[in-house]
Structures are given as C-alpha cells and as structure tokens.
C-alpha cells in the first residue's frame, strides 16, 4: 500500500543528539510476548559489500564519495566515531561485510543559543505557532491515510486526494469531481502528477494562495516531474529533492549508509547476479537459505526467498536484469518498525512497533507488509534501547548526507541470537505513520509530522530533543493500537458493485459488524469491539491481486503472543470483506498500477 516503502519482509542536519543510555548489542533471546513478529515466519536479512553508486545526487556525501566530515554541515556535526577509527568500506561487490555495529557514540551538544528573541521555545510554542498558521499547507496523495488528523493540529492544512475515501464528508479533503484524460497509473507518483495537472486542483490552489504564494506540500511519493509541476504552480515541496530520496530509497544504498552510521545489518553481499551458479559463488559465506532484494520494490513484490535453483528460476529475469542486488542470509526473525524525524537539533525517535508481514488473510505477497501494532512492553528494554540508539545514529548520518525530516526504519529481530538488525529505510512518511502520530506520546507533545513540517517553515525554534525522546520512550506513554491493511488476495479481476463506507464499525458477539457512525478520526474508536475503517476501493472500482481494499484500525492487539493473527483480527477481516460485493470480469486486463497506495 504504499506506499509503510516497499517493504521487504526480511530484509515496508547537524544533529545534536545525546543518547541517555549507551547499550551494547547483547545476545539475548526474545520472548514471544515482547518480540515483534510471527515466530513461524522465516525472514531474511542481509549481507554487505560497499560499492559506490554510479549516479548520485550532487548534495549527497555518500554519492560524492566524500567523508561526511567534509560536508557543508561539518560545523554542526556532533557525532564522532570512537575507538581506533572507522573501518573503510570495501569496494568489492563480492566481499561479505561485517554484521556488527561500530562503536559509535553520540556526543552531547552545548546549549543552543537563540538566533533571535522571537524564536519558538519548546513544544508549547511550536503547537501554538501551528494553531495560528497562515501558510497554505497540503498533503497530496492517492488518499489522506498517511497523515490522518494533520488538519486538527495545523490551521490551514488540507488534503488533496485522488480517491475520495469519505464521500465528500471530510471537511478538509479536496478531490476533483471530474476525471481528465491520463495514461494508466503505474505508481503513486503518476497519481500525484495527475492531480497537479488537474484544472480543479490548480484552481483550488489559487483560491487559497496568500500574497501569490500557493503554499507548501508533502507527498507520500514524488519524482522529478512532480517537482517541475509543483514549481510551476508555486508550490514548495516539504521534502528533500526527489533525486536524494530515490538514492536513499535504494535498498542497496541503505546498507552503505548503515555501515557509515555504525548500524548493524544482517550478513549480506551487494553484487550483480548472472545466474544461479554465480549466486552460489558470491553467497557461499551466507549459507543455502537466501533472500534477494532488488534496489526498489514495494511491500514484498521484489523480495525473493531462494534455497534452490527451482526457486531461483521463478525470479531469475527480475534478479538478473538488475545492475546490483542485495543478497542476504535468511534468518528466523520478527519484523519491527520505528519512525523518526531528522531536525536541526537532533533526531526525534518514536517508539518501536511490531509489524504484520505476509499474512495470507491480508496480502497475496509472502513478504508483504500488512499492518502494525503498538503497545507497551512489546519489546525488551534492551531491544528498545538498541533500536532507539541505531535510529539516532542513522538519523545523524542522514543529516550528514543532506537529508532532513521524516523517515522510517525496519528492524529485524533474530529469534535465534536476540540481535537486532537494520532491515530497510523509507525516507518519507509511511503506512505506519498513522499509528505513530495518533498514539498517546504524540498527542501529549506533538505528532512527528509537526516537527517535520517545522523544518520547512522558515521559523527559528529551540527544542530539547533529549527530553522528548525520554518521554516518548516511557512505556506508560504508549497506548495499544493495531492496524490491518486489507488487500484483495485472489488472482482475479472483479468489478465492485457495493463497498462499505468509511467510519466507525461495531462488532457483535456473533462476529457480524454494523456501521455505527461516521467519523474521520481513528481515535473515535472507544473499545476493542469497534474499529475505524478507511475505505480505499469503492463502488465502480476493480479488484485485482494486491489491490488495496481498505485499512482497519482498532484499539488493542490483532496478534497473539506468538505473533499469529488472533481470532478478533480474523473476525474483523472476514466481516469487512463481507461488506463488499463484486462481479467477476473475464475480459479486463490487470491494471498497471502495482503495489500499495498507502505505503
């Protein structure tokens, strides 16, 4: 759903951040109650080799081959590598990299001096500033799922969406009423470019402009064409350049950045694969059970589990056409996700969440992301601390690369040795953002997207990052929520004749559900017998394998302690599917649109 980034099921500034606790990677087993993924699922991870990329953004030190210390932000840099020195990355594609994090420490910063007496001082000032905001701000995407509720925090924040999930009842969603001619959509970028070229959207932006300024916008996904269209409309994109995002979104490059940051990865190699024999040669140190990831993919589409030649041949064409792929040792792991924001003062880190991956009741893809849970004490204190430390280190390195703002990391927790490894990076808001930004810790301070937008508001501010991270790490500041991403799992094409409305549904003891009331906010869910449903596929749409039907959000858990779907989850999935009616279509070709619309 893209859009929690394509998610591989095994792999979804100057930072002045001080780690209150320095943890070491202890080898301890993870109890089913505290880990974050299905015990029975085998997940993969990676091994490495550091080879430079041929085409790289000019503003990325990783691509320029420069030492991060030589970047323009050097004077702001606050992290240093301890010990005898940082190991130089090898350039060989075939060399197996280390799997241990470097002994990298975060150094305390001196108290920041205000640039002016008008600087915002702390969270309360920041919240007040956004409640008084006069700048037109937008989230432009297929749906408003990823930033649900942003309009409640920021005056003048609007959603411009291709899919009208609320049938015109959401007060701050604008969706064009007429459809103009366009090529088949192949991704969320195409949808966003269509919206920016739509006359109704252009008129809407003009009516809300202030002093000739169209305002600023966030996108789930965008490309160079999006940037060109936005510039013509006078719309500033509140993310680093598409070229940089593409570089960072590359799963091969993610591991290179992790190595520089001192973040541990599962054993892997980065290499060109010519055939099965060549694969065995370059991965001989990884064992026979492998996972291969291509540089770009979506929710399991391009993650391949290989243990023999027969399995390899099924995906040989996709693997061999790539200039470089990531070949990883397959480990028995559980997935987890964590979101963060790189700011001028350091990296703000949200709590670690569990991930739902590959459940056949929800997705047709073995490695496909299909939901998240957040709840107190989901992980051991050691795992939580290590995930936070790694995320801060990675955020610091992103700042050195020239990136700022929202990002998400997937972590893999090895069920055999208790280690936690980096899975992949999503340099953007994700499908997990709706969970992160509506939990108690975010409501008590401000959602993570507020700090992201603040970096683009030309406002000077002071913020105690350590204090925020300390509060957000406390388990008493976390409440329990789950979300399920419901996809069409059959290899069929079906025409939808009836679809459920978005809003709050109630489940009865019989397992049947009924629409209870219209609401645009998942926090309106009062108990575990209720759920918020955001409809994606509507009447008149076509269902195809992998198509997003909708998102279910409820209080409490949707998995058991051994990380299988619990009975409540199965009842909700069956019941919401039962709200749809469709007819088989024999002569309709599958749409070119691939992947998810939400992550």
Asked if 258 and 236 sit in the same domain, the reply is no
Asked if 142 and 236 sit in the same domain, the reply is yes
**β-bridge partners, 461:** 120
Q: Is residue 563 part of a domain?
A: no
Q: Is residue 494 part of a domain?
A: no
Q: Is residue 568 part of a domain?
A: no
The phi, psi pair for 95, rounded to 5°, reads -80, 135
Give 169: exposed, middle or buried? Use CB within 10 Å, 0-12, 13-18, 19+.
Answer: middle
CA distance to 134, 173, 498, per residue, from 512 (Å): 46, 30, 17
Question: Which residues constitute the domain of residue 298?
Answer: 43-108+249-358+380-457
Give the predicted TM-score (pTM) of the model: 0.79
Asked if 348 and 446 sit in the same domain, the reply is yes
Asked if 165 and 257 sit in the same domain, the reply is no
Asked if 137 and 89 sit in the same domain, the reply is no
Give 404: exposed, middle or buried? Use CB within 10 Å, 0-12, 13-18, 19+.
Answer: buried
Distance, CA of 577 to CA of 559 (rounded, Å): 19
Asked if 445 and 423 sit in the same domain, the reply is yes
Asked if 422 and 314 sit in the same domain, the reply is yes
Q: Is residue 490 part of a domain?
A: no
Distance, CA of 481 to CA of 558 (rounded, Å): 9
Asked if 326 and 235 sit in the same domain, the reply is no
Domain end (from 409, 436, 457): 457
Q: Is residue 427 part of a domain?
A: yes
Residue pair 1/240 in contact by the 8 Å Cβ criterion: no
Asked if 69 and 190 sit in the same domain, the reply is no
Distance, CA of 248 to CA of 57 (rounded, Å): 10
Q: How many domains does the chain have?
A: 2
Cβ-count burial 471-489 (b if 16+ within 10 Å, e if not): ebbeeebbbbbbbbbbbbb
Q: What is the CATH number of the domain that holds 305?
A: 3.30.470
Please give the angle made by the CA atoms of 369, 373 and 378, to the nearest 5 degrees: 120
Please give the angle made by the CA atoms of 244, 297 and 307, to the nearest 5 degrees: 130
Take residue 63 and report the two structure tokens written for it.
């691509």
Residue pair 159/174 in contact by the 8 Å Cβ criterion: yes
Q: Is 351 helix (H, G, I), strand (E, B) or coil?
A: coil
Q: Which residue has the tokens 């366009």?
A: 182
Q: Is residue 88 part of a domain?
A: yes
Q: Is residue 477 part of a domain?
A: no
Q: What is the pLDDT along the chain (599 residues), one digit of tens a residue?
A: 444 443 333 433 333 433 434 444 433 444 434 343 334 433 333 344 433 333 344 444 444 434 434 344 433 434 443 444 444 333 434 434 444 444 444 444 444 444 556 799 999 999 999 999 999 999 999 999 999 999 999 999 999 999 999 999 999 999 999 999 999 999 999 999 999 999 999 999 999 999 989 999 999 999 999 999 999 999 999 999 999 999 999 999 999 999 999 999 999 999 999 999 999 999 999 999 999 999 887 656 788 999 999 999 999 999 999 999 999 999 999 999 999 999 999 999 999 999 999 999 999 988 889 999 999 999 999 999 999 999 999 999 999 999 999 999 999 999 999 999 999 999 999 999 999 999 999 999 999 999 999 999 999 999 999 999 999 999 999 999 999 999 999 999 999 999 999 999 999 999 999 999 999 988 899 999 999 999 999 999 999 999 999 999 999 999 999 899 999 999 999 999 999 999 999 877 767 665 567 66
Domain end (from 198, 217, 243): 243
Q: What is the CATH number of the domain that holds 213?
A: 3.40.50
Asked if 291 and 418 sit in the same domain, the reply is yes
Asked if 303 and 231 sit in the same domain, the reply is no
Residue pair 45/291 in contact by the 8 Å Cβ criterion: yes
Asked if 238 and 282 sit in the same domain, the reply is no
Domain end (from 243, 276, 295): 243
């Amino acid at each position: 759903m893209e859009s929690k980034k394509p998610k591989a099921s095994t792999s979804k500034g100057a930072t002045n951040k001080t780690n209150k606790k320095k943890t070491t990677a202890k080898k301890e087993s993870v109890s089913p109650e505290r880990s974050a993924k299905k015990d029975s699922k085998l997940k993969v991870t990676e091994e490495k080799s550091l080879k430079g990329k041929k085409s790289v953004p000019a503003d990325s030190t990783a691509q320029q081959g420069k030492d991060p210390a030589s970047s323009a932000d050097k004077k702001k840099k606050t992290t240093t590598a301890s010990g005898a020195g940082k190991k130089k990355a090898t350039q060989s594609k075939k060399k197996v990299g280390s799997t241990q994090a470097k002994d990298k420490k975060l150094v305390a910063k001196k108290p920041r001096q205000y640039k002016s007496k008008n600087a915002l001082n702390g969270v309360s000032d920041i919240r007040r500033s956004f409640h008084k905001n006069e700048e037109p701000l937008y989230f432009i995407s297929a749906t408003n799922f990823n930033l649900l509720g942003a309009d409640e925090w920021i005056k003048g924040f609007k959603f411009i969406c291709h899919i009208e999930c609320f049938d015109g009842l959401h007060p701050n969603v604008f969706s064009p009423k007429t459809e103009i001619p366009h090529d088949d959509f192949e991704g969320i970028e195409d949808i966003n470019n269509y919206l920016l070229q739509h006359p109704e959207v252009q008129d809407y932006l003009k009516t809300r402009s202030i002093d000739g300024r169209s305002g600023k916008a966030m996108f789930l996904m965008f490309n160079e064409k999006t940037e060109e269209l936005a510039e013509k409309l006078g719309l500033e994109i509140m993310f680093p350049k598409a070229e940089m995002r593409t570089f960072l979104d590359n799963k091969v490059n993610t591991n290179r950045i992790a190595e520089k940051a001192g973040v541990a990865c599962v054993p892997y190699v980065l290499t060109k694969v010519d055939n099965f024999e060549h694969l065995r040669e370059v991965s001989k140190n990884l064992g026979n059970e492998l996972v291969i990831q291509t540089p770009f993919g979506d929710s399991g589409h391009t993650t391949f589990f290989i243990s023999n030649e027969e399995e390899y041949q099924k995906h040989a064409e996709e693997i061999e056409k790539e200039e470089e792929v990531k070949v990883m040792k397959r480990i028995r792991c559980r997935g987890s996700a964590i979101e963060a924001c790189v700011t001028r003062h350091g990296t703000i880190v949200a709590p670690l969440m569990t991930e739902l991956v590959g459940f056949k009741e929800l997705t047709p893809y073995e490695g496909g992301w299909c939901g998240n849970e957040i709840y107190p004490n989901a992980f051991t204190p050691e795992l939580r601390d290590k995930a936070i430390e790694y995320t801060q280190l990675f955020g610091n390195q992103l700042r050195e690369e020239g990136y700022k703002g929202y990002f998400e990391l997937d972590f893999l927790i090895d069920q055999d040795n208790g280690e936690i490894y980096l899975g992949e990076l999503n340099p953007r808001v994700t499908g997990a953002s709706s969970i992160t930004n509506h939990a108690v810790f975010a409501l008590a301070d401000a959602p993570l997207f507020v700090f992201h937008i603040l970096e683009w508001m030309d406002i000077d501010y002071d913020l105690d990052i350590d204090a925020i991270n300390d509060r957000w790490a406390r388990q008493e500041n976390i409440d329990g929520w789950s979300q399920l991403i419901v996809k069409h799992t059959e290899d069929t094409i079906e025409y939808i004749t009836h679809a459920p409305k978005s809003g709050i549904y109630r489940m009865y003891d019989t397992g049947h559900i009924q629409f209870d009331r219209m609401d645009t906010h998942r926090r309106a869910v009062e108990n575990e017998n209720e759920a918020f449903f955001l409809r994606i596929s509507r009447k008149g749409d076509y269902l195809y394998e992998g198509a997003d039907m909708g998102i279910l959000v409820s209080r409490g858990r949707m998995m058991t302690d051994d990380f299988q779907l619990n009975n409540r989850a199965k009842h909700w999935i069956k019941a919401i599917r039962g709200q749809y009616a469709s007819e088989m279509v024999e002569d309709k070709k599958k749409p070119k649109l691939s992947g998810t619309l939400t992550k």
